[in-house]
Chains A and B, each alone.
Chain A
Amino acid sequence: MISFKNVSVVFNKDGKDFKAVDNVSLDIQKGQFYGIVGTSGAGKSTLVRTVNQLQKVSSGQVIVDGVDVTKLSNKELCDLRLHIGMIFQHFNLIKNASIYDNVAFALKASHTNKDIINQRVDELLSLVGLSDKKHMFPSDLSGGQKQRVAIARALANNPKILLCDEATSALDPETTKEIVLLLKEIKKKYPLTILFITHQMEVAKSLFDKIAVMSDGRLIESNDAYSIFAHPQHEKTKSLVKQALYLDIPKEVLFEKAKYLLITYKQECAYEGVIAYIAKNYKVEISILAGKIEYILQKPLGILAISLKGSDQDVAQALTYLESKAFIHEFSVGDLC
């Protein structure tokens, strides 16, 4: 549905070239809920803007539904954008226009018949649960409600693709959850392909089928969401994932000299089996500090923080066994701060 082929975007800042997006290639299949994650400044927003050509590419191709959008004329671009909805971090509603006019604007853009606009706006507002706010203005609404209006507007022309640029980053955790649920619901009702940019791993955990990780303009890793969380490969990914799977371990339990490990189980390995096996067969003292199960796309991901105490040799042996059964990250007291 969307494919990036060697896409680069170079900005010229004070005479110096700065690569915001550096040779990114990525394929997004029809119907996927695809997340691009990374810290701010990683080039995610720039990349997503090349899909509807709000951002021109410096080199490479962006193929949307079989068409290379980098080669479209202005007129063709308008037509393309009608079929690509987009929502933003700061909602970007027309502040001096009513909620009705904000949604109607998208329909006017597609030259929708005047008689139909009214009916369609009502439909869209009821879809996002804001039927009673039709004659209000954006300043009368909360952040979450503004984003709902933006979603209604983005869906006005029955788009095939929905681009979300940090759509939940300006919202509090409760409202974020609401918007995430709404997007999931919409995804069920409409055959949409969604490309969602975020730095919030919490959102990534509950929304995405597939995840691509960006850092310094480059794509460093892409995989299905479960694998990204269960066994991240790249250092940057590991540190992003670590935040999301954060375990609340009191510092007081870490006073002893021991090896501290965070383990995520490989799917087929049961919990107790591994711990019990180590306790029985190695001369190490193993204790469980904290643990939880996260669900990523309905699949359970077990995370356990443990400590290993014993002679260096014994610990090393136990580690070798553990590594074959689970994914482990060592951590120290410093990591908990």
Chain B
Amino acid sequence: MLASTLEILNRELSKALYETALMMLISTLIGISVGLLMGLYLYLTSEEKFYKNTPINMVIGTIVNIVRSIPFIILVVFSLPLTFLITGTKIGPIAASVPLSICATVFFARIVEGAFKDVDKGVIEAAFAQGASNFLIIKNVLLVEAAPAIVRGITITFISLIGFSAMAGMVGGGGIGNLAIQYGYYRYETGVMLFTIIALVAIVQIAQLIGDFIAKKLTH
């Protein structure tokens, strides 16, 4: 069994790792940047002191909720036309990055919104009392105070994405998750299954450690 496991890993692992890395990189980057902006916008449009706009806030909030309530596997199928429009293909890691990015964005947006809402209202009031512009308050107060919570949110988003990327693998995305399903599950290669599980556990552990370390550095 060990021989066949090693043979499969030797042949498939580097490709699978590359595909997973690619999916994670694209969807984490897009999810974090767009999600951060979306979360910030959700927060700003809900606060009297900034740009309260209930209708816009409700529209975006509802869209976020709808997307978040769709099971990921369905979201992948649902977004196929969009995926094809953007990437020109419906399979492979790049294609899988589209639903992954959408999922990461809405997930992270809510985390960011929550992180901003938890910032001490008194600190924000003091910043306004000093005559600072909204931009300066967002940059030097909101982001600084919410930074640890946002970093923890990035960790959570990243780890959820690892799970989702395995699912994306099932519908043609490739990656480590695909390896586990194709060989470990369909072909009863328990060795491959175990190896992928260990690899995923290791990635999650490392991500959590790094995330916790940075969040702690930013908290005073």
Cβ of B125 and Cβ of A110 under 8 Å apart?
Answer: no
A74's closest neighbor in chain B, by CB? B134
Collect the chain B residues with CB atoms within 8 Å of residue A178's CB.
none
The CA of A178 and the CA of B168, in the complex, are separated in Å by 63
Total number of B residues with any Cβ neighbor in A under 8 Å: 22
Q: Indicate if A86 sits at the interface (CB-CB under 8 A).
A: yes
State whether A78 touches B145 (Cβ < 8 A).
no
Task: Evaluate contact between A109 and B144: CB separation under 8 angstroms.
Answer: no
| The one of B123, B130, B148 that contacts A109, using a Cβ cutoff of 8 Å | B130
CA of A6 to CA of B141, assembled, Å? 35
Given A54-B129, A78-B131, A82-B131, A109:B145 Cβ within 8 A: no
B125 touches A54 (CB 8 A): yes
Q: Which residues of the partner chain B approach A108 to less than 8 Å between Cβ atoms?
A: 132, 136, 140
Q: Is the CB of B130 within 8 A of A81?
A: yes
Q: Does B219 contact A (CB under 8 A)?
A: yes
Task: Give the size category of A's interface with B.
Answer: 35 or more
Distance between Cα atoms of A88 and B123 in the complex (Å): 10
Which residues from A are CB-within-8-Å of B140? 94, 97, 101, 105, 108
Q: Is B126 an interface residue (CB 8 A)?
A: yes
* Interchain CB contact under 8 A, B123 and A95: yes
The reply to whether A110 and B131 contact each other, CB–CB distance below 8 Å, is yes
| Contact residue among A77, A83, A86, A156 (Cβ-Cβ distance under 8 Å from B126) | A86
* Set of chain B residues within 8 Å of A94, measured between Cβ atoms: 123, 127, 140-141, 144-145
> Please, what's the 1-or-0 string for B18-32, where 1 marks a CB less than 8 Å from any CB in chain A?
000000000000000
Chain A 163-209 residues near chain B, CB threshold 8 A: 163
Q: How far is the CB of A52 from chain B (nearest CB, A)?
A: 6
CB-defined contacts of A101 to chain B, threshold 8 Å: 140
**Across the two chains, which residue of chain A brings its CB closest to B146?**
A96
Does A81 lie within 8 Å of B128, measured CB to CB?
Answer: yes
The residue on A at minimum CB distance from B48 is A56
| A93 engages B123 (CB within 8 Å) | yes
A-B contacts, 11 listed (Cβ < 8 Å): A54-B125, A54-B129, A92-B120, A93-B126, A94-B127, A96-B144, A108-B140, A109-B133, A110-B131, A137-B220, A154-B130
